[in-house]
Amino acid sequence: MFDVVVIGSGPGGYVTAIRAAQLGFRTAIVERSFFGGICSNWGCIPTKALLRSAEIFHYLRHAKDYGLSADNVKFDAAAVIKRSRGVAGRMNAGVGFLMKKNKVTVIWGEATIDAPGKITVKASQTSAPKDVAGPGSYQAKHIILATGARPRVLPGLEPDKKLVWTYFEAMNPDRMPKSLLVVGSGAIGIEFASFYRTIGAEVTVVEVLPQILPVEDAEISAFARKAFERQGMKIITGAKVTKLDRKTDSVTATVEAGGKTEPVTVDRVISAVGVVGNIEGIGLEKLGVKTERGCIVIDEFCRTNVPGIYAIGDVAGPPMLAHKAEHEGVICVEAIKGLHPHPMDKRMIPGCTYCHPQVASVGLTEQAAKDKKLDIRVGRFPFVGNGKAVALGEDQGMAKVIFDNKTGQLLGAHLVGAEVTELIQGFVVAMNLETTEEELMHTIFPHPTISETMKEAVLDAYGRAVNV
């Protein structure tokens, strides 16, 4: 008998299990495939390893821009992928170590909830690690679903693992394509488009909405788009792929935009049209757990409509981000413990896209603030006015901030450029502390750093920018 059983060991699941163990709960975690879930094995972490290799390749090819010489620079695809898989392996092993360290019982297999408090685990197709529990019947006072999500499939764009890929195949290709069509320009699509373009593939991106990176501020998205197009990427917005004609070793896509159609022939297609929660085969229908749009419906403390059953992370709906899953898991178990945690404020969840240039944001976009009829001040600062960015050869970027004109509250922050995925957390902390523009102006930013663009954007919102 366990106090808490977590189903799924992705970033949300394993963090939840650790926090539950820290709180004194007798805790178990059920996994059917690999420790760390999609994030550690096929998503967040190994993709960053690929992008890092592409980034270094880019710098080596532009060595002369830095007064250096690098001759005969080559891209070893097999070695790059091997390194990425090695990084994933380290993360996988790390999660297993953390389970042992925190005395979390690992149960290997496929879990089904028979009734509140009762779970049946069947054998998995994946061989189990050493020293884990196996198939059987288990009981728990609280069952937390952290089963994650999988790629969404659109009719006519069904992946076949050879010609039409999801992120699984895109991360471990049989060969590097010379041309590629990416359907969807969210974070996953743009990151793979950026990776493959940097290593030399001809890349076309098709997005059904009017802008790429649709959740981002329109001005930041437009800046990123221009940067991608300067790199040679072809981007078609307000368009959709209506047909795929699959040949032996190529695909011809019919792209419809503005009432016109055009054929696009490429070696491979990546379908990056979003993800859908893994809600099937768990027993939710029998239990009457409410779902909506492919995800489990939860309240502010991750409780479903069935007592004793909870859900966190991707399976509980957007934004489908690893850090959101982790934080939800902590809220969930702390609420079970009676610690009265603060419910999650989704406005303060940062989003990061690790393309080149990087994009990062938190809070309201300018348009969202206007839609709410808010009286706002907007500040901007270009990287070209920042000494550190110029010295790094990374002067193409921008920081943008949005304030409530009446209260000075920071409503949103949006960045594009080098290392902005590291910078955004400064604004996230500021928003969580309910910082005003005055406090940000009085904050001393180190010089020379790219972070100075953040302060300059704040100053610009109030007509006080210095270096532009």
Active site residue 356: no
Going from the C-alpha of 417 to that of each of 57, 237, 368, the distances in angstroms are: 18, 22, 22
Contact by Cβ (8 Å): 44, 51: no
**358-363/351-353 β-pairing:** antiparallel
Residue type, 46: P
Greatest alpha-carbon pair distance for the chain in Å reads 67
24: tokens are 């004194």
Residue type, 242: T
Contact by Cβ (8 Å): 124, 110: yes
Q: Which residue has the tokens 């005055």?
A: 438
Bridge partner residues of 403 (DSSP): 377, 410
Contact by Cβ (8 Å): 378, 461: yes
Return the beta strands (E) in 219-348 as ranges: 234-237, 239-246, 251-257, 260-266, 268-271, 275-277, 291-292, 295-296, 309-311
Contact by Cβ (8 Å): 468, 457: no
Around 148, how many Cα atoms within 13 Å sit in the side-chain half-sphere? 26
Catalytic residue among 142, 323, 442, 447: 447
Q: Which of left, alpha, beta for 176 (phi over 0: left; psi -120 to 50: alpha)?
A: beta
Going from the C-alpha of 328 to that of each of 224, 349, 387, the distances in angstroms are: 31, 11, 39
Contact by Cβ (8 Å): 16, 333: yes
Around 396, how many Cα atoms within 13 Å sit in the side-chain half-sphere? 12
Contact by Cβ (8 Å): 199, 343: no
Contact by Cβ (8 Å): 63, 70: yes
Bridge partner residues of 39 (DSSP): none
Q: Which helix (H) or strand (E) holds 462?
A: none
**Which residues are catalytic, by number?**
447
